[in-house]
Amino acid sequence: MRVKDDEGVWSAPADDLEQWFSCTVYVFTMDLDISGVSEADEEDPGGYIGQSDLVEISLSYEPSTLDVGYAQLSSHFGGQQKIRVWDGETMIIGDSDEKEVWPIDSMPSTLDVQGYSVGSANLWLYFTPDQPPWYPGGEYNYDLVHFTVYNAELKNIWFASDHGSLKDNNSDWTDSGTTFSEPEWVADPWRNNPISHTKNTSLEIEATVKVEPSGLKFDLLGDGPQNYLDFSHTNLTSTGSDQVVTMTAHAALPNQVDTLTGSINWTILLDDPNPNIFEDVGTSGSHKIYVTYGTPSGSVVTEKRLSWACEQADGASTEVGVADGIHNGLGNVDPPREPGECDPGELCGNWLLMAGCPYYGECDEQATLMELGVELLGVSAYTDKVYASSNSGAGNCLDLENQIEGGIQKWLILDFNMGPGYNWNAFEGCCVAGGSWYAVWPKKKATDDYDMLKNQLSPQQYWVSTYYNTRPGDPGWEVQTVYDEEPLP
């Protein structure tokens, strides 16, 4: 008789009757098991391996010894090298279609596979009881692993919902500087630019990744220190080249003015369910986010200005909170911004007042500076002037009162009575924001123009005439004669 095994091989040739009377039957199996990667065979050919990564393969076979026998591990790449196989410290397969043959009693129990170049590769383990399987007529069994060697890179991050107006001047208070480049974060050559963003809204980003080869299913995951820096996009398909992935953060930014920093750890999750393959593709950041109340306006948005404004209004969640923060930042501190604190220089109603001497500001220039600081954080503001008034009630202190008596032009003006003599003031410049009125110095806050005059400024009022009938407040105006005091209404 003769016997046919499960591979369809007969124990004796059909035409050699002498061998029909005796035969040797070998029963053997083998298996390749990849630690950390799904087991693969002809029905389940799947295993991801990152380029330059090592994956361990366990080799098992039954029986463990034979009188004679060979095993062969070979690679077939379609003529292109994709992986390298290591037996301990020795690389045994490093080129396409290389083979390694062991006598059965010296078969290793584990091997390491290294991804070498992107693409697909197969490993076969042949098992034969008597001669190598390429010998004509030899019996053998085999198992295989199909590898996909992948590569994943994070290229850049663009914050699409950023205001896009922030300039890189962080050295002085001028308008100079260049708008920060986008994408804000780039891996190579590396750059990392800050952004400005409206509070209580979610960051929207475009991440550029490169996942090779094409056709792989993957998820892109970003893990930040807070959920407003967490991102994910699932069920993507690789193109093998740069592709843009649009994502929205899992939560909105804090509902207040703030300055935030944080890095994002990025992971590619390959769609290999047994088990899932996570690939760390790098960390972006640390990202700096200037969180504003709204869209900045009113002046050039430099980093120095915005950093200062966010610091003063830190934690503000209302318009009046923003205005209070900027007001406190200007009214509670020096460098000098007052005439008398430095030699007369160039009157300046903008950010240059922050530079101190030689720039100084009267009350209306100070109010303009506060307006710019409030508007930079996205809150509407304007300036107005509070004058002396002979009538009570809001809206009656917004213009200079005058009258002609006995042919003499008289003006109603303020005296703050701050020391010997008169401290004449044609008006008090104010910033109006968040429904309140603010005077920077002396530092006052009021509900309206009349409240500022009567309860906050509490000045004395006088009818006066001026030299050459010059309107008080105009350049060079000076009091000539003082008439009767006018009580506050």
Q: Looking at residue 143, which CATH number applies to its domain? A: 2.60.40.2410
The mean pLDDT of 314-336, rounded to a whole number, is: 87
For residue 167, pLDDT over 90 is answered with yes
Q: Tokens standing for 136?
A: 């004509």
The DSSP secondary-structure symbol of 456 reads I
CA torsion 238-244-249-253 (nearest 10°) is 160
Mark whether 104 and 234 lie in a shared domain.
Answer: no
User: How high is the pLDDT of residue 81?
Assistant: 75
Mark whether 283 and 334 lie in a shared domain.
Answer: no
User: How high is the pLDDT of residue 22?
Assistant: 57
User: How high is the pLDDT of residue 268?
Assistant: 94
User: How high is the pLDDT of residue 374?
Assistant: 98
Question: pLDDT digit string (tens) for 249-291?
Answer: 999 999 999 999 999 999 999 876 555 788 899 999 999 999 9
* C-alpha span between 205 and 219 (Å, rounded): 16
CA torsion 172-177-179-185 (nearest 10°) is -70
Identify the domain boundary among 92, 114, 149: 149
Phi, psi of 88 (to 5 degrees): 70, -125
Question: DSSP string spanning 246-305?
Answer: EEE-SSPPPSS-EEEEEEEEEEEEES--SS-EEEEEEEEEEEEEEEESS---SS--BHHH
User: How high is the pLDDT of residue 283?
Assistant: 97
Domain membership of residue 18 (yes or no) is no
Residues 6+ apart with CB under 8 A from 259: 288, 289, 290, 291, 307, 310, 311, 314
* C-alpha span between 428 and 106 (Å, rounded): 97
Mark whether 239 and 111 lie in a shared domain.
Answer: no
Instruction: Using DSSP, state whether 20 is helix, strand or coil.
Output: helix
Q: Which residue has the higher pLDDT, 50 or 26?
A: 50
* C-alpha span between 351 and 348 (Å, rounded): 8
* C-alpha span between 222 and 285 (Å, rounded): 12
pTM of the shown model:
0.85
Q: Tokens standing for 444?
A: 């006052």
Mark whether 53 and 101 lie in a shared domain.
Answer: yes
Mark whether 477 and 349 lie in a shared domain.
Answer: yes
Domain membership of residue 286 (yes or no) is yes
The mean pLDDT of 432-461, rounded to a whole number, is: 94
* C-alpha span between 181 and 164 (Å, rounded): 9
**Predicted confidence band of residue 411 (pLDDT cuts 50, 70, 90):** very high
Identify the domain boundary among 257, 292, 327: 292
Give whole-number Cα distances, 191 to 185, 188, 238, 272, in Å.
6, 8, 26, 34
For residue 354, pLDDT over 50 is answered with yes
153: alpha, beta or left? (left if phi > 0; alpha if psi -120 to 50): beta
Domain membership of residue 391 (yes or no) is yes
Mark whether 271 and 179 lie in a shared domain.
Answer: yes
Question: pLDDT digit string (tens) for 58-88?
Answer: 777 666 555 556 667 776 655 567 888 888 8
Maximal CA-CA distance, the chain? 151
Q: Which residue has the higher pLDDT, 238 or 1?
A: 238
Within 10 A of 370 (CB to CB), how many other CB atoms are there?
Answer: 26
For residue 1, pLDDT over 60 is answered with no
Which amino acid is residue 472, in one-letter code?
P
Mark whether 274 and 419 lie in a shared domain.
Answer: no
For residue 379, pLDDT over 90 is answered with yes
Q: What is the CATH number of the domain that holds 288?
A: 2.60.40
Mark whether 239 and 371 lie in a shared domain.
Answer: no
Mark whether 135 and 222 lie in a shared domain.
Answer: no
Question: pLDDT digit string (tens) for 206-249?
Answer: 999 999 999 999 999 999 999 999 999 999 999 999 999 999 99
* C-alpha span between 443 and 426 (Å, rounded): 18
User: How high is the pLDDT of residue 57?
Assistant: 81
Mark whether 110 and 141 lie in a shared domain.
Answer: yes
Continuous segment of H or E residues that includes residue 327: helix 319-331
Q: What angle do CA 373, 379, 382 make, to 5 degrees?
A: 70
Instruction: Using DSSP, state whether 33 is helix, strand or coil.
Output: strand
Within 10 A of 453 (CB to CB), how many other CB atoms are there?
Answer: 27
User: How high is the pLDDT of residue 38?
Assistant: 39
**Predicted confidence band of residue 39 (pLDDT cuts 50, 70, 90):** very low
| Residue found by looking up tokens 């005077």 in the block | 439
User: How high is the pLDDT of residue 270?
Assistant: 87
395: alpha, beta or left? (left if phi > 0; alpha if psi -120 to 50): left
Within 10 A of 323 (CB to CB), how many other CB atoms are there?
Answer: 28
Domain membership of residue 475 (yes or no) is yes
Domain membership of residue 71 (yes or no) is yes
Percent of the chain exceeding pLDDT 70 equals 79
User: How high is the pLDDT of residue 164?
Assistant: 96
User: How high is the pLDDT of residue 56?
Assistant: 83
For residue 44, pLDDT over 70 is answered with no
- Mean per-residue pLDDT over the chain, rounded: 85
**Predicted confidence band of residue 352 (pLDDT cuts 50, 70, 90):** confident
Mark whether 428 and 326 lie in a shared domain.
Answer: yes
Mark whether 421 and 334 lie in a shared domain.
Answer: yes
The mean pLDDT of 313-336, rounded to a whole number, is: 88
* C-alpha span between 478 and 140 (Å, rounded): 114
User: How high is the pLDDT of residue 40?
Assistant: 42
| Domain of residue 458, residue span | 318-489
Which one, of 128, 121, 119, lies nearest residue 97 by Cα?
Answer: 121
**Predicted confidence band of residue 41 (pLDDT cuts 50, 70, 90):** very low
The mean pLDDT of 98-112, rounded to a whole number, is: 79
For residue 89, pLDDT over 80 is answered with yes
Q: What total of structural domains would you count in the chain? A: 3
Identify the domain boundary among 125, 149, 173: 149
Domain membership of residue 106 (yes or no) is yes
Domain membership of residue 308 (yes or no) is no
Question: Residue 202, CB half-sphere, CA atoms under 13 Å: how many?
Answer: 12
Residues 6+ apart with CB under 8 A from 104: 65, 66, 68, 69, 70, 71
Question: DSSP string spanning 410-452?
Answer: EEEEEE---SSS--EES-EEEEEETTEEEETTTTEEESSHHHI
User: How high is the pLDDT of residue 480?
Assistant: 95
Domain membership of residue 313 (yes or no) is no
Within 10 A of 174 (CB to CB), how many other CB atoms are there?
Answer: 15
Which one, of 211, 219, 278, 220, lies nearest residue 37 by Cα?
Answer: 278
User: How high is the pLDDT of residue 146?
Assistant: 78
Question: pLDDT digit string (tens) for 134-148?
Answer: 666 666 777 777 788
